[in-house]
Amino acid sequence: MLLYTKTPTSRNIQRSNYKDGKVDIDALEAIAFDPYTHGYYKVGGRAGDAFKDGLKLK
């Protein structure tokens, strides 16, 4: 999948899309393109914690 945002580079991200000095992913209103189904999908919301959630599966 490819990830697209309304603004193509981090230099162009508006200040309103920052939270605590970091880019707020939900504020970007990013979309992902799936080349297999030729569909666009909204990206947003936290899915989990890296390096932590997988430990529950061991």
pLDDT tens digits, residue range 2-45? 455 555 555 566 677 777 877 777 777 788 889 999 999 888 77
Q: What is the pTM of this model?
A: 0.46
Phi, psi for 33 (deg, rounded to 5): -105, 130
Q: The domain containing residue 27 runs over which residues? A: 2-47
* β-bridge pairing 18-19 and 31-34: unpaired
Asked whether residue 43 is assigned to any structural domain, the reply reads yes
Asked whether residue 42 is assigned to any structural domain, the reply reads yes
Asked whether residue 14 is assigned to any structural domain, the reply reads yes
State the total domains in the chain: 1
Asked whether residue 30 is assigned to any structural domain, the reply reads yes
Asked whether residue 9 is assigned to any structural domain, the reply reads yes
Rounded to the nearest 5 degrees, what angle is found at the Cα of 36, between the Cα atoms of 32 and 37? 75
Q: Contacts by 43-48 with C-beta closer than 8 Å and gap 24+?
A: 43/3
Asked whether residue 57 is assigned to any structural domain, the reply reads no
Per-residue confidence (pLDDT) for residue 37, from 0 to 100: 94
Per-residue confidence (pLDDT) for residue 1, from 0 to 100: 44
CA distance 58 to 55: 6
Asked whether residue 55 is assigned to any structural domain, the reply reads no
Asked whether residue 56 is assigned to any structural domain, the reply reads no
